[in-house]
Structure 1
Amino acid sequence: MNKDSTLDLARLAAMDVTHSSRLLKGVREATLSGLRPRVRPRPVIGDSWQRMLRDGVDPDYDVHSGVLTAEQLEEKRQASPLVPLLPMLREALVTVADATQHIMVISDADGRILWREGHHGVLRMADRLGLTLGAHYAEDVVGTNGIGTPLVTRRPVQVFSAEHFVQSLHPWMCTGAPVKDPRDGRLLGVVDISGPLDTMHPATLPWVYSVAQLAEARLREQWQGGLERLRSVAAPVLARMSGRALAVDPFGWTAAVTGMPPVDRVALPKSLAEGCCWVPALGACSVTPLPGGWLLMVDEEPRTLGATRIALDVRRPRRWSLEVSGAAATWTHELSPRHAELLYVLALHPAGRSASALAEDLFGDPTRTVTVRAEMSRVRRYLGPLLAHRPYRFADDADVAVLLPDDPRDLLPHSVAPAVVAARAAGSGL
């Protein structure tokens, strides 16, 4: 190989297992020693290794540590939104996995292994490697791996042999894809196929990714079905009303509306209960529970938000949120990766940004104003009057705070937006 060449999955698959494993071990050892390796790791692996070195993850970590008890595991299983998907995942993965000496592994959004099934011999091997039920495979715990790394990058990742940061996992290959909630982009967990080194194949990556996409499609169908049921309940109630009102599911998605233009979604307060509350896009509302959601009746008497504080929290590597607190209410909204980028960029520029400037900040292309305006329209659905335009900015009377990670290099690690990349490189969040 030429000096400074970069590995990829196809080249690794073309080598015999011994050769590729030895090559990767040399690359890893040079990286851990602070040397420049002769062959560079794949970018997704190299970036992960750098995060592990910065965070001080032990390359000799005992992956058998910190396993959940049976009671704790069952509690997490019952709370997992992936439970309804298990029959589909088994059908799509386990039969093939068993025949090809793989196992299926499913984790939650924190990297805890909740289920594993497949080839019995491979399951025994996984036990020896610590890939057991209840084990914690977050990247900041066991380093680069096919469960924790997809949770950070929010993309499918295949990790082979010494690409694993922790040495005890070098006899292993794993391929994982994140499953996201179609309602809000929130991470729900990872679907992973794992096995010994000689089971490595580049086609495993698109296979696992397609199954994760199918899981998200099933979740979308279930969600739409819930909205339809809520709509059937709410329609006769709304038909008897003369003012502005709407029926929403627990996540704020609209099932039916009367007396006002339809909206896709409204941001709900953190703890919604029957009575009165403040909804940013609507103002003061009376709240009544419905089967599968809530009825919001808008108070037509004008009120004001009062002093408002907006806290944009981007400290965590894969969960970002916006908390708005004021005299009327406090509410929290989990952000998609794109909206986390967009609101962070607006926080960088209190005076505001034009659509073309935001397009340059997010995409490196000032002509992508249509995409920016569409995203800003979606943000306004939950920020309402707290987001001004011409130029786009937070409301002048809002106190905006950004909660940043301790290391600026961990700022929105998934993001390739030029403004975010520049902030990481500069080593300062704001």
Structure 2
Amino acid sequence: MTSDQADQARRVRAPDPRADLAAHADLLRRVYDAAMSEDAAGLRPRSLVSDSWQRSLAARVDPERLRPQVRVPESDLLGVREAHPLNEVLPLLRSTLVSIADEAMHIMIVTDADGVILWREGASSLLGPADAVGLVAGSTWAEEAAGTNAMGTTIAVDAPVQIHSAEHLVRTLHAWTCAAAPVHDPDTGTILGAIDITGPMHTVHPAMTQLVAATAQLAENQLRVRMAIADERLRVRNMPHLASLRGRPGALVTPTGRIIAGEPYGTWPERVTLPADGDRVCLDDGREMVVERLAEGFLLHAPRKAPRAAPRRALALQVMGAHHPRVVLDGKPVPVTLRPAELLVALALHPEGLTAEQLALLLYGEEGNPTTVRGEVHRLRLLLGADVLRTRPYRLDGTVDTDFGTVRRLLRAGQPAEALRAASGRLLPRSDAPEIRELRDELEAGLRRGVLHGGDADLLAELACHPVGREDLEVLERAVAALPPDDPRRPEIAARCARLLADG
């Protein structure tokens, strides 16, 4: 037997469900004590655990004392959660793991890429003991902070892991068992965070690892679907930029460098490395391309022979469906509230410009005050810049892309399916400004008319689940009638239809 084989023979394996778990935990404690006392002749932990112990000890984690570090205070948690990509798949994680965790005396934990706990849910009887060892939202469980544990170790090795009892480096965690798996960004491949199920030591089961690994895969698949939808909306909104090249080679690129549309087709790589400085990129085939920033993403195109004028500022308005209006200027978000968003929509609808009196009438009706409008425009100019929002008359100067403009263009071109998919919701649903109400009614009537006239069952179902059609009885009835009886979308739509009929 070689020395490597002998070393492997002395390593303890992961727990077998058929084994005596108490006896196995006792064995792990003896292995732990031997390792901490540097007994070279004793049994050794499995390689995954041994390597993690070494990393943790090198980071000066004290095996006898756990001091979880709170990285995100409770007052900041809500904002951090809402901004994190895994917030989008939290309903999936809850439906997949929380009910199982509750029944099996476990808690579900979701962390960010640094091992900071963002969500913790599950068996209420375990929350107190979890608090006692620092398993609380906002605390970090990266290996360098908390030693070997499933959340920190799965991020360190980028693979699903299970850590049982005395495999934890810190002694106060020996009463616990946990399994975790990393979740990756489908765009960049980087780790977004980890999902974990944790419980008392006696609840260990090898299926825990398979469960969290499968759930992580489901979460990545759902993120991939959301990315595809976002890509399609980005492509639809920005196709006019590609069309403006008039047949010359060009491509639309996401902010992370993925190419989502290109002319001619089939001559572009999957992604490009965008330059940190400058406006040129060299493709793998040797072609040099100009990188032109759009309000959302970039446009690649071959260098023009004629000298180009100074680039115009790029402004994007996304005001359909979102809880808060989104304004992007030269690729950077600009925070705005409802009133500035209404001003921008009105100015985008009137590229020739508007006076303060005209704006007051469009936004406030006969009671509008031009002085109030002048003050609001002044504040908006401070946000966007005087070169973007011009005066005398008030107008937007630059390349302006709007989601409602895209929907309007597609409806006028007789493409209701594309228009519905470009409309992520209703136009500024909280706005009562006359100009906004009129445009909102125009868009919703156009979407409704285009879909109902076409009679396509899938498109009817899509409109029935869209904010524009969710409470529209005729849309719901037409969708129920068009869908086959075994279509999985039909029961939910029929239930809403029945509720509206009962309320009416």
Q: What TM-score bracket applies, with the shorter chain setting the length? A: 0.5 to 0.7
Shift of 1:208: 0.6
Q: Distance in 2 between matches of 1:278 and 1:35?
A: 60
The answer on whether the counterparts of 1:286 and 1:299 sit within 8 Å (CA) in structure 2 is: no
Q: CA deviation at 1:73?
A: 2.6
The yes-or-no answer on 1:224 pairing with 2:228 is yes
Task: List runs of 5+ in structure 1 lacking aligned partners.
Answer: 303-430
Matches within 5 A, 1:308-327: none
For 1:67 and 1:217, the matched residues in 2 are separated by 29
Q: Which has the higher helix share?
A: 2
The corresponding residue for 1:310 is: none
Query: What is the aligned partner in structure 2 of residue 262 from structure 1?
Result: 268
Query: Does residue 162 in structure 1 map to residue 162 in structure 2?
Result: no
Matched, 1:6 2:21: no
The alignment status of 1:38 with 2:13, answered yes or no, reads: no
**Cα-to-partner distance string for 1:373-408 (whole Å, 9 max, x where unaligned):** xxxxxxxxxxxxxxxxxxxxxxxxxxxxxxxxxxxx
Q: What letter corresponds to residue 277 of structure 1 in structure 2?
A: D
Letter in 1 for 2:218: L
SS, match of residue 268 in structure 1? coil
Output the CA distance in 1 between the equivalents of 2:38 and 2:10: 18
Q: Which of 147, 152, 163 is matched with 2:156 structurally? A: 152
Percent of residue pairs bearing the same amino acid type? 38
Matched, 1:89 2:93: yes
Query: 1:397 corresponds to which residue?
Result: none
* Partner residue, 2:213: 209
CA RMSD of superposed structures (Å)? 2.3
Q: Deviations over 1:271-321 (max 9, x none)?
A: 7xxxx612242535151415x43222331569xxxxxxxxxxxxxxxxxxx
Whole-Å separation in 1 of the counterparts to 2:77 and 2:65:
22
Kindly indicate whether the alpha-carbon contact (under 8 Å) linking 1:7 and 1:42 is maintained by their aligned counterparts in 2: yes
**Equivalent residue runs for 1:240-319 within 5 Å:** 240-241=244-245, 242-259=247-264, 261-270=267-276, 277-281=279-283, 283=288, 285-290=290-295, 292-300=296-304
8 Å CA contact 1:27, 1:37 repeated in 2: no
Alignment of 1:10-409 (within 5 A): 10-11=15-16, 13-36=17-40, 38-66=42-70, 68-241=72-245, 242-259=247-264, 261-270=267-276, 277-281=279-283, 283=288, 285-290=290-295, 292-300=296-304
Query: Contact (CA 8 Å) 1:162, 1:170: kept in 2 or not?
Result: yes
d(CA) in 1 for partners of 2:70, 2:243: 55
Structure 2: which 5+ runs fail to align? 1-5, 307-504
What is the aligned length?
Answer: 295
Bigger mean CA offset, 198-207 vs 220-229? 220-229
How far did 1:179 drift? Answer: 0.4
How far residue 68 of structure 1 moved from its aligned partner, in angstroms, is 3.0
Which of structures 1 and 2 has the larger relative contact order (alpha carbons within 8 angstroms, sep 6+)? 1
Give the partner amino acid of 1:248.
V
Whole-angstrom CA distance in 2 between matches of 1:266 and 1:41: 43
Q: Quote the offset at 1:229 in angstroms.
A: 1.9
How far, CA to CA, are the matches of 2:150 and 2:41 in structure 1? 23
Tell me the CA shift for residue 10 of structure 1: 4.0
**1:100-120 C-alpha deviation (Å, 9 max, x unpaired):** 101100000001000010100
Query: What is the deviation of 1:202?
Result: 0.6
CA gap of 1:246–1:19, structure 2 versus 1, over 3 A, is same
Question: Structure 1 CA distance, aligned partners of 2:70 and 2:82?
Answer: 20
Normalised to the residue count of structure 2, the TM-score between the two structures is: 0.55
